[in-house]
């Protein structure tokens, strides 16, 4: 393996990519019949993954904001998605209105499947579907029904459905606790809710969305009142998804540190199955040859003191110098 002369924080990620590429285990993917048909119609081979189990990266936020520099990262999408999560929202309308299309396919796929089985004449392609979501009001019947993902992080973070009918706000509970008793070890926010996951889900809650990849995060205060965030991610798409996750949870750490009056410490990223999709191999080979540039700095409006008050305009990234983008197709593996 290449030996780096300077341990820029991004080399953790690049070294992990290289190790998976050279030493990982190849595994078949579970793909729904609909997805398999798409590959067949396009004349493409079915992708597989090359993975490594149980990996970790650690980013000290005093060294800069860990937005990868060896390719351009879509920060606007990261910020809007995180605000969406923190709003407890589970409908893609907010994202679509802000031209962030990370979750488009999951909503459209459910509508498309319903139409094929029940009303083919009402079917539309993904672009038409998203345009309809954008054109209609948030309270329209179409948006309420078909823009709704239901099983999504924000709902579980902020509106976890309790058996007695309550909506539990895990994020605010953790923030309140960090303010009063910062050294407690129990501030965990979980998205893993079996009632919403594949065959375990009750019939009215089933969705063909993969069960929460970033399963849970743990907020821990260490010496000098430094707040650290430890993420457990059960499944990590190393080329497309993980760079987003690194930046998103680092930003979440900065936000929670600000509203609790603590100092940001480390973001510690634990990966269960860290993998590279086979149709990303060439892009990964290109990326690991690139030298990282200095990390940028993230400035947050210091006037914001409550987690619900953040807006997109409250974030300002400075000094982001990056290599050209590297594009690749997302592999849609939802279903059961």
Q: Which residues are catalytic?
A: 213
> Residue 6 has what DSSP assignment?
S
Q: State both tokens at 140.
A: 């329209």
Q: Measured between alpha carbons, how far is 104 from 135 in angstroms, rounded to an integer?
A: 15
Q: State both tokens at 6.
A: 């300077």
- What is the total residue count of the chain? 336
Please give, one letter per residue, the 3-state secondary structure of 106-122.
Answer: HHHHHHHHHHHHHCHHH
177 Cβ partners below 8 Å, 6+ apart? 184, 186, 187
Pairing, β 263-277 against β 226-237: parallel
- 213-217 contacts at long range (C-beta below 8 A, 24 or more positions apart): 213/241, 214/153, 214/245, 214/249, 215/190, 215/191, 216/188, 216/189, 216/190, 216/191, 216/192, 217/188, 217/189, 217/249, 217/252
Task: Bin 7: left if φ > 0, else alpha if -120 < ψ < 50, else beta.
Answer: beta
């040859």: which residue's tokens? 289
Strands (E), 89-242: 160-161, 167-168, 188-190, 214-222, 226-237
307: helix, coil or strand? helix
Q: State both tokens at 87.
A: 């709003």
């Amino acid at each position: 393996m290449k030996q780096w002369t300077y341990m820029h924080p991004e080399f953790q990620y690049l070294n992990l990519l290289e190790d998976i590429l050279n030493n990982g285990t190849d595994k078949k993917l579970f793909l729904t019949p609909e997805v398999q048909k798409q590959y067949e119609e396009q004349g493409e081979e079915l992708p597989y993954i090359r993975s490594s189990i149980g990996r970790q990266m650690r980013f000290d936020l005093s060294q800069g904001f860990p937005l990868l520099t060896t390719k351009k990262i879509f920060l606007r999408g990261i910020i809007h998605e995180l605000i969406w999560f923190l709003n407890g929202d589970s409908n893609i309308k907010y994202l679509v209105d802000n031209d962030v299309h990370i979750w488009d396919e999951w909503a459209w796929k459910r509508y498309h499947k319903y139409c094929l089985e029940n009303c083919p004449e009402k079917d539309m392609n993904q672009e038409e579907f998203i345009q309809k979501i954008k054109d209609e009001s948030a309270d329209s019947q179409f948006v309420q029904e078909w823009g709704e993902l239901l099983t999504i992080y924000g709902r579980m973070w902020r509106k976890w459905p309790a058996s007695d009918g309550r909506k539990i706000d895990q994020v605010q509970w953790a923030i309140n606790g960090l303010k009063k008793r910062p050294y407690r070890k129990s501030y965990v926010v979980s998205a893993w809710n079996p009632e919403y996951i594949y065959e375990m889900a009750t019939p009215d809650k089933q969705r063909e969305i993969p069960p929460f990849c970033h399963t849970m995060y743990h907020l821990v205060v260490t010496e000098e009142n430094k707040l650290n965030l430890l993420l457990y991610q059960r499944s990590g798409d190393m080329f497309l998804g993980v760079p987003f996750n690194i930046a998103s949870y680092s930003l979440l750490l900065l936000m929670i540190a600000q509203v609790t009056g603590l100092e940001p410490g480390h973001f510690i990223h634990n990966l269960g199955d860290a993998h590279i999709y086979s149709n990303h191999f060439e892009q990964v080979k290109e990326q690991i040859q690139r030298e990282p540039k200095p990390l940028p700095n993230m400035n947050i409006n210091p006037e914001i003191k409550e987690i619900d008050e953040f807006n997109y305009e409250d974030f300002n990234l400075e000094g982001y110098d990056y290599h050209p983008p590297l594009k690749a197709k997302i592999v849609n593996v939802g279903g059961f």
